[in-house]
């Protein structure tokens, strides 16, 4: 895969190879490559997983990262480097990436109505979530797929803030995936230290 990367391209995609094209500047709807490049411009340090039918796909550099760190196989042995996972495996794939410290951008397709007998229109896509080591759960569509999402012990350690006053220490605990904030006031130094020790060290909330 690495030998087929174009290091002069932001995605590492060689457009002379089979499997990618661009309509940039043509006034038409974006291709998958064009959309991936737009996402990468906004999130250059994150791995982009883009919904394509029943799969989430990565191109170029992101495909190499998916193979190296998520244990997935390349899509083909020629053409533009691609890798991906089935829709039902998206959380497992994200868990493998976030456990290694990577943040991801998950992009979904916009549902479209298509008249019978008419050609399928080009897909519109949008960024559905930013998944990070501090917020590793991808919740969109989990209920409709029957997934049992673990928001408890399987989540990342909470983000903790500490403040002191004449009344003692205040510990603020933020759990991004649960959308929950807890405040403990009037703690002694020993109690605050014990709370910090029990919570663990959280990864950066966003990077």
Tens of pLDDT along the chain (207 residues)? 889 999 999 999 999 898 888 887 666 778 899 999 999 999 999 999 999 999 999 999 999 999 999 999 999 888 999 999 999 999 999 999 999 999 999 999 988 777 777 776 678 899 999 999 888 888 886 666 555 655 555 567 788 889 999 999 999 988 877 788 999 999 999 998 888 888 766 776 665
CATH of the domain spanning 2-131: 3.40.1170.10
> In this structure, are residues 64 and 6 in contact, taking their beta carbons and an 8 Å threshold?
no
* Closest to 46 in 3D by CA, of 104, 120, 133, 108: 104
φ, ψ for residue 20 (rounded to 5)?
-155, 150
The neighbour count for residue 4, using CB atoms within 10 Å, is 19
List the chain domain ranges: 2-131, 159-199
pLDDT of residue 56: 96
Q: Which residues contact 126 (CB under 8 A, 6 or more apart)?
A: 107, 108, 110
Element (H, E) at 62: helix 60-70
Q: The sheet that has 159-165: what strands, in order across it?
A: 159-165, 168-175, 180-187
105: exposed, middle or buried (Cβ count in 10 Å: 0-12, 13-18, 19+): buried
Q: What is the pLDDT of residue 86?
A: 94
**Residue 16 in contact with residue 22, Cβ under 8 Å?**
no
pTM above 0.75, yes or no: yes
User: What is the per-residue pLDDT for 87?
Assistant: 92
Q: Are 144 and 164 in contact (CB under 8 A)?
A: no
């Amino acid at each position: 895969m690495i030998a087929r990367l174009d290091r002069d391209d932001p995605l590492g995609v060689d457009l002379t190879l089979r499997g990618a094209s661009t309509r940039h500047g043509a006034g038409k709807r974006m291709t998958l490559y064009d959309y991936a490049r737009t996402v990468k411009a906004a999130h250059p340090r994150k791995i982009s997983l883009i919904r394509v039918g029943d799969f989430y796909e990565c191109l170029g550099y992101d495909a190499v990262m998916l193979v190296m760190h998520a244990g997935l196989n390349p899509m083909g042995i020629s053409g533009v480097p691609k890798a991906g996972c089935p829709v039902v495996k998206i959380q497992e794939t994200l868990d493998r990436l976030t456990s290694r410290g990577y943040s991801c951008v998950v992009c979904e397709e916009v549902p479209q109505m298509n008249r019978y007998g008419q050609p399928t229109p080009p897909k519109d896509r949008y960024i559905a979530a930013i998944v990070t080591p501090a917020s590793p759960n991808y919740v969109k569509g989990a209920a409709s797929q029957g997934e049992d999402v673990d928001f408890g012990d399987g989540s990342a350690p909470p983000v903790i803030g500490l403040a002191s006053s004449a009344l003692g220490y205040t510990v603020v605990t933020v759990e991004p995936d649960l959308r929950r904030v807890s405040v403990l006031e009037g703690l002694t130094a020993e109690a605050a230290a014990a709370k910090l020790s029990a919570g663990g060290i959280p990864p950066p909330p966003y990077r």
